Amino acid sequence: MRILRLLLGLRRPLQLLLLAGSCLCQLCRFGGWYASVFLLYRVCAGLEDFVAHVTKRGVGFVDRVIFEGKLAFAYDRGMTNDPRKARLAELVKELAVIHQKVTLASGKESDFYVDMRRATLHHEAAPLVGHVMLDMLEDNGFAPDDFDAVGGLTMGADPVATAILHAAASRGLPVDAFVVRKEAKDHGMKRQIEGPSVEGKRVIVLEDTSTTGGSPMQAARALEAAGAQVLAVAVIVDRDTGAREVIEGAGYKYLNALGLEDLGLA
């Protein structure tokens, strides 16, 4: 037992050592002289805040420094997610954007439709969704220790929540997921919200994309009735069709990872 406790106590220093080694190797390989100058600047400025930043975010975030062999170091904003975001936008355009006349949930007609489940259930896009959404949340002031769980109204939010859960786990972060049914079951436990209890938890309401804001609002009301604290509503794609205004008008912060301009639809 004593040996086990000793090993557990050494886990964080060993993680930081491995992280520092990985960063140095990647900086030397891809960064060139400007990365070395940046590293020297950080050393001279003091390592204490940098180590605290690394410790808070976990070792898993190092893969945000190098993505597809590209140096992307931006300490003051946290690690940039631009390469992932760019690739996700490409996949959404390729997989989910359908150019044809459709009638939206609002009753309005559109020349295109964004069928996000074609992306959120795709083998390459789904992992990117998780990491890009986590990064977007942190860039907007919601660090991993600022919320406990993510989810939304079934079924558009379900794969988004699962992707975030797995992305967080890969970084060593404890983020749970939940599913909000459109109405409570009339049998079994008769629950409307499935998953770990959300009572007293800080939650982020998710949706893949929203036209009117109706689904996130329905989920938010159910969550608050169950005793959760709704911090924000986050979607992958904002269609700019009024969802933001509805959600912010109800007092919730509205966040999106991609906009129409990212998909070439603006």
Each residue of 81-111: pLDDT tens digit?
479 999 999 999 999 999 998 887 777 788 8
> What count of other Cβ atoms lies within 10 Å of the Cβ of residue 212?
19
Give the pLDDT band (50/70/90) at residue 185.
confident
The interaxial angle of helices 125-139 and 158-170, nearest 10 deg, is 80
Residue 78 clears pLDDT 50, i.e. is over it: no
Q: Rounded to whole angstroms, how far apart are CA atoms 266 and 13?
A: 48
Asked if 255 and 147 count as a contact pair (C-beta separation under 8 A), the reply is no
Instruction: Say what the pLDDT of residue 13 is.
Output: 57
Q: pTM for the whole thing?
A: 0.71
Q: Rounded to whole angstroms, how far apart are CA atoms 163 and 166?
A: 5
**Residue that has been written with the tokens 């967080």 in this structure:** 168
**Residue that has been written with the tokens 């689904």 in this structure:** 215
Structure tokens given for 249: 């008008």
Instruction: Say what the pLDDT of residue 104 is.
Output: 76
33/132: higher pLDDT: 132
Instruction: Say what the pLDDT of residue 222 is.
Output: 98
Query: Quick one: average pLDDT of 165-192?
Result: 92
Each residue of 2-58: pLDDT tens digit?
454 444 455 555 555 555 555 555 555 444 544 444 454 444 444 444 444 444 444
**Residue that has been written with the tokens 């491995």 in this structure:** 18
Give the phi and the psi of residue 67 in degrees, each rounded to 5.
-135, 120
List, in sequence order, every beta strand (DSSP E) within the chain.
66-67, 70-71, 97-103, 109-114, 149-153, 176-180, 193-194, 202-210, 229-238, 253-259
Q: Rounded to whole angstroms, how far apart are CA atoms 110 and 262?
A: 18
Instruction: Say what the pLDDT of residue 226 is.
Output: 97
Instruction: Say what the pLDDT of residue 189 is.
Output: 82
> What count of other Cβ atoms lies within 10 Å of the Cβ of residue 227?
12
Give the pLDDT band (50/70/90) at residue 223.
very high
Among the ranges given (3-7, 117-121, 239-243), the one the predictor scored with the smallest mean pLDDT: 3-7
Asked if 54 and 23 count as a contact pair (C-beta separation under 8 A), the reply is no
| DSSP tag of 199 | T
Instruction: Say what the pLDDT of residue 20 is.
Output: 59
Mean pLDDT for all residues in the chain: 80
Give the phi and the psi of residue 234 in degrees, each rounded to 5.
-130, 130
Closest C-alpha to 175, from 155, 161, 190: 161
- The answer to whether the bond into 155 is cis (omega within 30° of 0) is yes
Residue 80 clears pLDDT 50, i.e. is over it: no
Q: Rounded to whole angstroms, how far apart are CA atoms 109 and 112?
A: 9
Instruction: Say what the pLDDT of residue 17 is.
Output: 59
Instruction: Say what the pLDDT of residue 108 is.
Output: 78
Identify the bridge partners of residue 150 per DSSP, sorted by sequence position. 177, 204
Residue 220 clears pLDDT 60, i.e. is over it: yes
